[in-house]
Structure 1
Amino acid sequence: MPPASVSPIMRRRRLGQHLRRLRELAGFTGEQVVERVKWASASKLSRLENGRSRPDPEDIAALLDLYGAEEEVRRELSATARAAGDMREWLRKTYPVMTEQQREWAQLEAGCVEICEYNPVLVPGLLQTPGYARVRITSARLVGEGRRTADHLELEVQAREARQALLSRSLDAPRYTAVLEEAAFGHRAGPAEVLREQLDKLHELSTLPNISLHVLPRDTRLDNGYVAPTAFSLYRFADQLDPETLAIEGGYTDFVSTDTNIINNYKVVFEWLRAAALSTTDTRSWLAEASERLAETTADSTVGSGPATAPAQRRRHSGRLTER
């Protein structure tokens, strides 16, 4: 798969940051701009500056005229506005299959040179096997997402797989680092065969030169008993003019920010988590051993049904992963 281009969403955010900076340098408030360019909606400028709307070339030209932008700046921002325009065409060229649910994550990941992720209870989507993804998507449908068809489920799985291709592409694959909580592999996360397949997949991914995985054992303490409250992802892009981005995954509501102060706080937290977790080498060993223990536990559960296969006996083989 060829390197994915930067998504129109990131171009919109970059354009918005430039427009806000030009407005502030020109000494205008948002209300003054809306009045002078005679826009009917006061929120139109806000949506443009926050990268939340598709830019109209005539609107961008009107703003650049008002701000007295130099010709070089005009050419650059006009090109950025064009690149920020056609979302459908970008998706068609970049992904073989995509769904609305997976699209926002794909837009953030495209064009990244570095992605750092932490999730306190699940394996991040970029690392999930199809089996693990099916369990996650199916379980999420039980709360607030209605009943969807089996075809829709498979489309979601395929879209997630399409996103994952960026980690193993031959050119310009991003540097990817994840801190994985041991809870992501507990019995509550899915059937034993699904979990074992996921462990084996992670072990395979951990051998790639651009991927660093760190398991955080359940009994590991951070200084002062700190506990990270939520899942989050940090994105850094090839073009330094594209803002670093934070995505906080809240289960049913996600939050995205380019605020440097907020992002720096999460960078600190991520370094705390990575330092407390197992090294990449120890994580690779942990994943292999956990898969073996799970296989032993599964095998034990299929032998007979008498006292010899009672839970207490199986737990002696299972180790920390399956005692839960």
Structure 2
Amino acid sequence: MIMRIGIVILPDQRWAESERRWRQVDEWGFDHAWTYDHLGWRDLVDGPWFDSMTTLTAAAATTRRIRLGTLVASPNFRHPAAFARQVTALDDVSGGRALLGLGAGGIGFDAAVLGGETLPPRQRVDRFTEFVELLDLVLREDGTTWRGDWFTAVDARNNPGCVQTPRVPFVVAANGPRSMRLAIRYGQGWVTTGPTTDDLEVWWEGVADLTARLDKSLASVGREPGSLDRHLLLDSAPVFSLRSADFFAEQVGRAAALGFTDVITHWPRASSWYAGEEAVLVDVASRLPELRRLTD
């Protein structure tokens, strides 16, 4: 198995600057590139921020081979019937390179900006379950009518459908048991952030526990462990993965040992979240073939 290595490019730069980054990661040979699907994110809500699907569509036009995805789209401000049209368009423009990271949605700016109620965790998962079920249905079938507790669709169309068949792959974010079951039922991939902690070793212990729980859940429904790609968001750990190229390689090796098929880092920022040096990213990019072989 060869490890796939991805990177997040936050949508916090004007396209004149951002385009260079998307084109560069494609040329360097990263396997997938992602952007956050938020209307605003944490304290960066007060700075520049751009729409994810528009950004990804522009990235599709400026890249040639890299896969492109949301990390992660949520029902906080999206309706499956409308979102399906955007997903289909992205898959078409990219020539079948779209990935769809999906999550339940948090309680920050996205949950409040439209004036709706901030939901407790159980209800967020209820809504997420319906969101994934309906999105899957609309992307697969034409003329979907649905009436649920959270969403309604009347004769929703998907013509011409995705380039990828039967639809764009879902990479479902899940740490809890219900979301994990959702990932197993609908996902071609699973993505985790691991636990929240300030201790790097405790974080890795938590990640190992989550992978064991995923294995048990897969076994309970008779799904083969290798049938679900496993993505780890390395920068959810308390130490930025691009602290150095050697540290990044160490983290990739640890992920591989736990059975992850994919790891994801972030383009370094000048300050605040994911602060680091672009020179480290350049060094990592030059070592991608070596890093992929850490799983051999």
Greater fraction helix: 1
TM over 0.5: no
TM-score (norm 2): 0.24
